[in-house]
Amino acid sequence: MEKMRPSGDSAENDGYFIFRSRNKLPSGSFKPFKYGVAPNHNTNNNNNMASWNSLPVELCLQIVDNLDLDNTRAFSTVDQRTHTVCVPLLFRHIKLDQLDAFVQQVPSAYCRHIQHLDIAVNNGSVPHLISILKAAPRLSQLVLRLNGAIGHEVIPFFGNLACLGHLTIRNCADEIASPLSERLVTSIAATVPRLRYLHLERVSRSTLHSPELIGKFPHVPLVKGDEDIPDHPILGSALSLPSLLSIPTLRQLIIRDTHLGDPLWATAPVHCRLEVLDLGSCVHEAPTPNRLAIERIMSAVGPSLSAFSLPTALASPPRTPLPCLRALHISPFVPPDEVADTITTLAASPIEALSVQCFGDDLADACSALETFLALRAERGPAFFGKLARIDVAVAADDVYSSTYERGSEHDKAAQRLQEFCKNLHLTSCVPVPSCKPKTDRGRSNSCAFFFFFFGDSDLLLLFSVVHRLSYR
């Protein structure tokens, strides 16, 4: 789709929907800039349009549903009837950075077609967010990009979203200046009737649930003044992050850049059967507290896990067995010299697929660590990781190699050795070939995106396909 620069009082849907405020009709209704009635056509085109216009609406909808978005957008400019037929597809996926202009200029009736919504929200635009939630009964995936906290009056409206299964809440602001309370996000998540997938990023602990962190060094950003968030009908006042495990429909949980040291993770009631768990470390904590927090959560939900992304090294087997674990992802924040020992601690699980993500500079060391693990597996026989069928290595999405890299270097040799080792053991493998790009700061791992790539041709695709859109920039 051609990119158009919206005017000052307009909004852009970042490739899905573009409109300008000058396209308001005198009556106050709205005619999208790109979707107006086309000029007069020649006779042959008019005959073709007569054939199209004679088709039943149901058939027209099926035809349009098979078009890609660009073709649908172009087709919608033909005439008013065609535009009306195309509207459901054009509004199926919406991304908004300027919520106010969208609500003011787009008829609320169009919102009933929205299924996937990615939206930037600040506290002043909460009324407009509420109006969209009320008008979008088919909404199934929602991404909220927040600028810190928003008013808790929005919480009850999530209870009407019967189709919403995927929810992402991300604090895009500085967590010290504009924190996002764990009480707010927990209450929102617990209000969604059929929530299966939850992704939280940069959520701050509340002083109501973490008094032990007040004045502690190192400093962990905390939220004060969130006691006005009302009790939840089911959870009551227990709105700390561990209460997320009380959501019975929850199957996939991703928490990034968030303090996970709440001891209640070990004792909170678990009413869900998590299949995918992807946790990140807290940058405000030391490695040991981070590891203990991850182990605590892993023990709480371990019996049902099918896939786990591990952000820290493990020193010993988990206290609770992981009998269903089939896919293990190792974060690049696990030091390469601890990769083999960490994998070994999970020998009791029926792991079929192993992925290791590393930073570019660590690729050779990561491959060597996997060689060490595979040598141990060959030595111990089929009882040790006997179900393992695939090993993949990937470089962290935001990390690249030094510009001084040359083919035939240590990286290539290590990758080739690992692939040969896997081949001799009848294991499928994929190891990257470094590219010559300028080196940048190390970013965060995109473990769920790797899961999607990794299992794209297996029966686990259904399990991981809903988490492949995570991106960390």
Q: What is the CATH number of the domain that holds 259?
A: 3.80.10
Q: Are residues 453 and 414 in the same domain?
A: yes
Query: Angle of helix 363-380 relative to helix 410-424, nearest 10 degrees?
Result: 20
24-28, 60-64, 137-141, 467-471: range with highest mean pLDDT: 137-141
Q: Are residues 77 and 136 in the same domain?
A: no
Whether residue 386 is predicted with pLDDT greater than 80 in this model: the reply is yes
Q: Tens digits of per-residue pLDDT, 217-234?
A: 889 999 999 999 999 999
Mean pLDDT (whole number) for 417-433: 91
Flag whether 109 is in a domain: no
Q: Are residues 28 and 152 in the same domain?
A: no
Task: Please tell me the predicted confidence (pLDDT) of residue 96.
Answer: 92
Candidate from 162-171, 326-335, 344-353, 462-471 with smallest mean pLDDT: 462-471
Residue 75 in contact with residue 86, Cβ under 8 Å? yes
Q: Are residues 433 and 472 in the same domain?
A: yes
* Dihedral pair phi/psi, residue 223, rounded to 5°: -105, 130
Flag whether 129 is in a domain: yes
Flag whether 98 is in a domain: no
b vs e for 238-259, b when ≥16 Cβ sit within 10 Å of the residue's Cβ? bbbbbbbbbbeebbbbbbbbbb
Collapsing DSSP to helix, strand or coil, 360 comes out as helix
Task: Please tell me the predicted confidence (pLDDT) of residue 24.
Answer: 39
Flag whether 241 is in a domain: yes
d(CA 426, CA 326): 18
Collapsing DSSP to helix, strand or coil, 144 comes out as strand
Mean pLDDT (whole number) for 60-88: 78
Mean pLDDT (whole number) for 306-313: 95
Task: Please tell me the predicted confidence (pLDDT) of residue 101.
Answer: 87
Q: At CA 428, angle to CA 427 and CA 432, rounded to 5? A: 125
Task: Please tell me the predicted confidence (pLDDT) of residue 419.
Answer: 93
Q: Say if residue 230 is preceded by a cis peptide, omega within 30 of 0.
A: no
Q: Are residues 160 and 283 in the same domain?
A: yes
Collapsing DSSP to helix, strand or coil, 162 comes out as coil
Q: Are residues 261 and 281 in the same domain?
A: yes
Whether residue 459 is predicted with pLDDT greater than 50 in this model: the reply is no
Flag whether 260 is in a domain: yes
Q: Report the candidate in 113, 91, 119 with the shortest Cα–Cα distance to residue 163.
A: 113
Flag whether 4 is in a domain: no
Collapsing DSSP to helix, strand or coil, 375 comes out as helix
Query: What is the percent of the chain with per-residue pLDDT over 90, rounded to a whole number?
Result: 61
Flag whether 2 is in a domain: no
Q: Are residues 84 and 123 in the same domain?
A: no
Q: Tens digits of per-residue pLDDT, 160-169?
A: 999 999 999 9
d(CA 120, CA 108): 18
Task: Please tell me the predicted confidence (pLDDT) of residue 458.
Answer: 40
The model carries a pTM of 0.81
Q: Are residues 298 and 353 in the same domain?
A: no
Domain residue limits at 402: 312-320+328-473
Q: Are residues 145 and 270 in the same domain?
A: yes
* β-pair partners for 95: 118
Domain tally for the chain? Answer: 3
Query: What is the percent of the chain with per-residue pLDDT over 70, rounded to a whole number?
Result: 78
For residue 445, how many other CB atoms are within 10 A of its CB? 30
Task: Please tell me the predicted confidence (pLDDT) of residue 59.
Answer: 82
Whether residue 405 is predicted with pLDDT greater than 70 in this model: the reply is no
Flag whether 412 is in a domain: yes
d(CA 105, CA 12): 12
Burial class (CB in 10 A: 0-12, 13-18, 19+), 195: buried
Q: Are residues 395 and 467 in the same domain?
A: yes
Whether residue 75 is predicted with pLDDT greater than 70 in this model: the reply is yes
Q: Are residues 141 and 272 in the same domain?
A: yes
Secondary structure letter of residue 204 according to DSSP: B
Q: Are residues 316 and 389 in the same domain?
A: yes
Q: Tens digits of per-residue pLDDT, 7-66?
A: 333 334 444 454 333 333 333 333 443 433 444 444 455 555 557 777 887 787 778 787
